[in-house]
Amino acid sequence: MRTLSSYLLGGWQPIAGEPTTILVNPATEEPLAAVGRAHDLGKAVAYGRDVGGPALRRLTFKERGAILQAMAKKIFEHREALLDLAVTSGGNTRGDAKFDIDGATGVLAAYAELAETLGDHPWIVEDDPASLVRTSKIRAQHVSLPRHGLAIHINAFNFPAWGMIGKAAVSILAGMPVLSKPATSTCLVAHRLAELLAEGDLLPPGAFQFLAGPVGDLLDHVGPQDVIAFTGSAAVGAKIRSHARVLAANTRVNIEADSLNAVVFGPDLESGSQLFDLAIRDCVIEMTQKTGQKCTATRRILVPEGLLDQVSEVLAERLADLAAKTGDPAAKGVRMGPLATAQQLADAREGIARLRADARVVRGDPERRAFEGVADGKGFFLEPILLAATAEAALDPASAFHGLEVFGPVATLLPYDGTLASAAAIVRAGQGSLVSTVYSDDRTFTAGAIAELAPHLGRLVINDEKNAAGAFSPGCVFPQANHGGPGRAGSGAELGGLHGLGLYMQRTAIQGGASQLARIVGARAGAGGSAA
Ligand code: NAP
């Protein structure tokens, strides 16, 4: 069996010692590859910082944008093979795989386009010079420059392509070299992408390194100019945040973690309307795409009490259809694949048991063992599970569905009395989320939702009847919009166009005479905005 190497220090490095993990096809449990520990992570950190950093910073934003374009082209050329690999190594249906792989090229393309607007200075001019004292010609002007460190990217298992390439696109455009560590269980796709980038010589030496296998002592080598961008569980996020070296060096850390995303069926929503159908469509997509293993998946569905039976019935019917088509994604007609690992399945089943303390199962059998295209008992499958709570439990912040993210095709219906106050209280009980969605034509309700919900979210999607036909499901993360959320969601922020660059740049106020600033620093390029 093949053992995966890491691309560090300008070449492919074999593992140190014996493999630590065997990767398997989550549908069939067939072994696919082995991974193990890497050598010399301290040297790799220094190499990225000292070789990759200066090389990237010598390039203009436009030149770095051209690298992103070349990366997108290379990935696109290998799209079909990457999709196949995502199906066998990640349990993805072809649609799931496209979401991940095309999502990666989408971020590259968006940031390559942004590069065109950023001017030719080594810095981004953030604003116009500000007068400090009325009678003085001294001004202060904010500029952002790439940090002189390494961007360490630690990613979750669910998006091996989008997670790795999306973070890399922003970092490289900002001018920071990358060391990317994917989650081990699904790292075959990320590994193949790293091979493509390495063999294409698309990036300057040291600008992109790739670590397969455990994180080892990587974080023991971080310094004050480095950035750690982490996506994964709250528990590991907390470990990174409190790592002794990270604290000692005050390394910048961005955490993207768990999220109990909600959707709100507005009080005016009527069964049979286009908006109602959209809400149902989105619930099904957001419960079952990538088998519910999405940070943006819908976990809590708020429905006015009078509409609960109808929503429950329609959703159960649609999910039953998906349940009948759950199985090996390589088999014909399958529309939902397995969870990524045996551990994910065990955790999801345990999570459902905990949700059942405060909600009843409306449809689905967490213990089902027979699925399409696989031998009974093989693979890490879970059919869609829909639960429902009482209105009283929905309003109780201590209810399990407000505190526990079950990372699978699982959501809970939460009845509410149709008032904004109740809806907001229920959404807020999730303690901060990546995204929530409101379906309503009542503008007072929607405006109130923006005021009451948005501070608890990284993104708020508002859908009305007029725009229902063209609306995207809320789990689609676009590179132009902020991704990240307060509280439980990690308090991080990524993407969001120009804002995303801020993670990898240092904002500095340059203070000096007005004419000197005008000559040296220059004016804002492009459409303006802030790299933060
Ligand atoms: P995880 O177990 O926390 O692992 C995430 C990453 O951290 C993996 O690369 C893992 O490596 C690494 N890791 C493990 N221990 C570490 C340590 N002590 N120090 C540094 N890194 C360490 O999460 P997961 O199971 O892959 O992903 C599922 C979770 O991610 C869910 O909770 C989901 O909500 C969240 N997620 C959030 C977002 C978002 O944008 N907010 C997006 C996707 C997923 P190994 O795999 O080698 O252990």
Give residue 382's identity as a one-letter amino acid code: L
Do 414 and 65 contact (CB within 8 A), yes or no? Answer: no
Q: Calculate mean pLDDT across residues 400-416.
A: 98
Q: What is the pLDDT of residue 528?
A: 46
Backbone torsions φ then ψ of 486, nearest 5 degrees: -75, 170
28 CA to centre of ligand 1 in angstroms: 24
Burial (Cβ within 10 Å: 0-12, 13-18, ≥19) of residue 500: buried
Q: How far apart are CA 316 and CA 9, in angstroms?
A: 52
Does residue 524 carry a pLDDT above 90?
A: no
Which residue in the list 126, 187, 256, 476 is annotated as catalytic? 256
Give residue 472's identity as a one-letter amino acid code: F
236: Cβ below 6 Å to ligand 1? yes
Do 366 and 260 contact (CB within 8 A), yes or no? Answer: no
Q: What is the pLDDT of residue 105?
A: 98
Q: How far apart are CA 45 and CA 176, in angstroms?
A: 12
Mean pLDDT computed over every residue of the chain: 96
Q: Calculate mean pLDDT across residues 63-74.
A: 97
* Closest protein CA for atom 46 of ligand 1: 183
pTM of the model: 0.96
Q: What is the pLDDT of residue 531?
A: 64
232: Cβ below 6 Å to ligand 1? yes
155: Cβ below 6 Å to ligand 1? yes
Does residue 526 carry a pLDDT above 80?
A: no
Give residue 176's identity as a one-letter amino acid code: M
Tell me which DSSP letter residue 524 carries: P
Do 122 and 496 contact (CB within 8 A), yes or no? Answer: no
Do 453 and 463 contact (CB within 8 A), yes or no? Answer: no
Which residue in the list 286, 295, 405, 494 is annotated as catalytic? 295
Residue 459 tokens, joined: 């993104």
Q: What is the pLDDT of residue 532?
A: 62
8 CA to centre of ligand 1 in angstroms: 21
* Closest protein CA for atom 16 of ligand 1: 236
Q: What is the DSSP string of 176-228?
A: --EEEE--GGGHHHHHHHHHHHHHTT-S-TTSEEE--S--TTGGGG--TT-EE
Does residue 529 carry a pLDDT above 70?
A: no
Tell me which DSSP letter residue 464 carries: -
Q: What is the pLDDT of residue 166?
A: 98
What angle (nearest 5°) sits at the alpha carbon of residue 491, between those of residues 489 and 495? 90
Does residue 119 carry a pLDDT above 90?
A: no
* Closest protein CA for atom 39 of ligand 1: 256
Ligand 1 atom closest to residue 477's alpha carbon, by position in its atom list: 40
Q: Calculate mean pLDDT across residues 517-530.
A: 73
Which residue from 308, 309, 317 is spatially nearest to 414, judged by alpha carbons?
308
Q: List pLDDT tens digits, range 12-36.
A: 999 999 999 999 999 999 999 999 9
Q: Over pLDDT 70: what percentage of the chain? A: 98
Q: How far apart are CA 417 and CA 367, in angstroms?
A: 34
443 CA to centre of ligand 1 in angstroms: 39
372 is catalytic: no
Do 95 and 289 contact (CB within 8 A), yes or no? Answer: yes
Q: Calculate mean pLDDT across residues 255-284.
A: 96
Q: Which residues make Cβ contacts (< 8 Å) with residue 63, sequence separation at least 6?
A: none
138 CA to centre of ligand 1 in angstroms: 47
12 CA to centre of ligand 1 in angstroms: 24
Q: How far apart are CA 188 and CA 209, in angstroms?
A: 15
Q: Are strands 11-13 and 252-256 parallel, antiparallel or unpaired?
A: unpaired
Do 258 and 294 contact (CB within 8 A), yes or no? Answer: no
Q: Calculate mean pLDDT across residues 433-444.
A: 97
Does residue 394 carry a pLDDT above 80?
A: yes
| Residue matched to tokens 């379906």 | 439
Distance separating the N- and C-terminal Cα atoms of the chain: 45
Does residue 106 carry a pLDDT above 90?
A: yes
173 CA to centre of ligand 1 in angstroms: 24
Q: Calculate mean pLDDT across residues 513-517.
A: 94
Q: Which residues make Cβ contacts (< 8 Å) with residue 224, sequence separation at least 6?
A: 149, 249, 250, 251
Q: What is the pLDDT of residue 12?
A: 97
Does residue 523 carry a pLDDT above 90?
A: no
Q: List pLDDT tens digits, range 182-234.
A: 999 999 999 999 999 999 889 999 999 999 999 999 999 999 999 999 999 99
299: Cβ below 6 Å to ligand 1? no
Q: How far apart are CA 513 and CA 409, in angstroms?
A: 59
Probe target for ligand 1 pocket from 231, 286, 503, with the most ligand atoms within 8 Å of CB = 231
Q: What is the DSSP string of 365-390?
A: -TT----BTS-TT-S-----EEEE--
Residue 321 tokens, joined: 């259809």
Per-residue pLDDT band at 525 (split at 50, 70, 90): low
Per-residue pLDDT band at 527 (split at 50, 70, 90): very low
256 is catalytic: yes
Which residue from 155, 156, 172, 148 is spatially nearest to 64, judged by alpha carbons?
172
Q: Which residues make Cβ contacts (< 8 Å) with residue 240, sequence separation at least 6?
A: 154, 219, 228, 230, 246, 253, 255
**How far, CA to CA in Å, does 376 sit from each of 32, 330, 372, 427, 432?**
21, 16, 9, 39, 39
